[in-house]
Structure 1
Amino acid sequence: MSSAAAQALADRSGTREAAVPAAASIDTAGELAADATREQSTVRAQRTAERQALVVKKAKEAAKKKAEAKKKAAAAARIKAAHAWVSPIKNPRLTSGFGARWGRLHAGLDFGAVVGTPLRSLSTGTVTEAGWGGGYGQKVEITYWDGTVSYFAHMSVISVIKGQKVTPGMIVGKSGNTGHSTGPHLHLEIHPGGGDPVDPRGWLAKHGLKL
């Protein structure tokens, strides 16, 4: 073989050997690109999952807060209803006021009412006395949630017993003419904190009750 032919054969062999690393480099680059794409997809999926989890978490927190607010509102409504004040008698007709009378204190208000008129608890409380009260006749005492004590006197019927719980507007008995009375009526006394009586007119007005 001539030297020229030998050189040509060597050149062709070198070209084939150089082509193999080039192809290998292309395959490696493709794999790296594919790996990068998969990694990016994984990262995007993770971020999407994290965002969705955050949305779900915030939704749960919002729902929890809403439920708690609703629960608090319901509790506040129950307390407000329990602490409501109502008139002891429908269509009250004042016949005698608070103050001195015949040399002694008339410690309450008198409301004219036919015998048997329903008498109602002023608010939530506990019956502390129920029965005969001397000059008061048939009498009911109620201690309310704020410590105020009311007397209902000269009743014809008592519908509650000592220790019984009452609610706003609950019927505790009926008006009458028992005890020292000149005619059928309700005698109402108000004793804040169970102390000395005060004029029920101002107390009722302060608690939103009009005569």
Structure 2
Amino acid sequence: MDGNGRWAKQRGKPRLFGHHAGAKRVREIVEACPKYGVKYLTIFGFSTENWKRTQTEVAGLMSLFRMYIRKEARELKRQGVRVRFIGDRIKLDKKLRDLMDELEALTEDNDKTHLTIALNYGGRDEVARATQRLAEEVAAGRLKPEDVDEETLPRFLDTCVLPDPDLVIRTSGEARISNFLLWQSAYSEYEFIDTLWPDFSEAVFAEVLAGFGSRERRFGGVKA
């Protein structure tokens, strides 16, 4: 969900103004998912690299996350949205971690839309943490080294209960994946668009999905 800061700058506003606009856009896209057959949606809220931003922006983002959870929790429950969080929670403040836990518990029985929010998330960090847990299993004798293969590691990833993404969309004209779902997106389709995230409307979403629907996915094979 890139481009909040530039969107705000274009309007002579501070970056946090753009982040608030971006948060409102999330709700629209989540609500649109069932209409287009999207069962699983993962949004990149805050990366492990985003701590490098100014203290003011980071503090503002953390406040926004807390406010968003409090404000949207009951509506997400009502709409049948199940919420999960991925990423390393240790560095997040306790109030935010508690709210995350509460939202996950509140929506755990929902199954209409599965919304995953990546907070303090990085693909490399996730793989490193997963590898550490896998190594602990080997050291404890619960897993043999020769049994470790590409089917084993995913069981230790943050996304172990989720399907791999079919489509990854990056907004704002940036053409890089920026450490997002590195393992899971090995065979994902990618769409890089110029639209800034606060302008990413349902109409733009529908257009991107329509384009994805016309692609031929071979997963390394050749169509007969």
Interval containing the TM-score (normalised by the shorter chain): under 0.3
Task: Specify the structure having the higher radius of gyration (Cα).
Answer: 1
Q: TM-score, normalised by structure 2?
A: 0.17
Structure (1 or 2) with the greater helix fraction: 2
Q: TM-score, normalised by structure 1?
A: 0.18
Which structure ranks higher in relative contact order (CA pairs < 8 Å, sequence separation ≥ 6)?
Answer: 2
